[in-house]
Amino acid sequence: MPLQAQAKLLRVLQEQEIEKLGAGQQIKVDVRIIAATNQDLSKLVAEGRFRKDLFFRINVIPITIPPIRERREDIPSLAAMFWEELALKHGISYKKLRDDALDLMCNYDWPGNVREMRNIIERALVVIREGTITPDHLRMLILGGAPAENDTVEGNCDLAAMVAAVERRSIATALARANNNRAQAAKLLGISRPLLYKKLHIYGIE
């Protein structure tokens, strides 16, 4: 919020009156303010980017909600809530999250906080074809598609099968990075959009 706008808001809070655009008289108001931010307002005040008087005016009953990396015990219940909500949204009932995949979620720092967690769960439901979401699936979505060290085609040394597995994983990773935007995923992969659609059909990726 620009400092000039902060000054106007401060006046509203102090004087409890506003002036409509184009009007020449003040109108009394009776309001209560609930403010939310993900910024460190104390730091912004020290940097001169947020008015000190406005900060003290709105900082009456502060409620601090720590990020989920500081309350990891809440991750399982949050994951279950998001899973149920998003599975219903997309009409997906056959998929499940493996226990060791949930452990990985509990040990991840989630720099994007709950929004990142919700996005990762939605991508897992939409992008991953298998019915069980594994830690490797989550690593692919969270860490940008780096495969696990022992990630091979189990029981199969056939070159074509291994190439197909890597190609399919690369497509899934690109879709995850592009938030399922097909055009952007094709650009990330360096292929045309028609070719991407062909590959999606071949590998059964929806």
What structural domains and CATH numbers belong to the chain? 3-58 (no CATH), 68-149 (1.10.8.60), 152-206 (1.10.10.60)
pLDDT for position 117: 92
**Sequence-distant (≥ 6) Cβ neighbours of residue 62 within 8 angstroms:** none
Amino acid at position 46, single letter:
A
Give percent helix, percent strand, percent coil of the chain, each to the nearest 5: 55, 5, 40
- How far from chain centre, in Å, is Cα 22? 42
**pLDDT of the chain along its 206 residues, tens only?**
888 889 988 888 888 888 887 777 888 888 888 888 888 899 999 999 999 999 999 888 888 888 999 999 999 999 999 999 998 988 888 889 999 999 999 998 888 889 889 989 988 888 888 889 998 888 888 765 433 434 444 444 455 666 677 778 778 777 877 777 888 888 888 888 898 888 888 877 76
Tokens at 7, concatenated: 């000054």
- pLDDT at position 52: 93
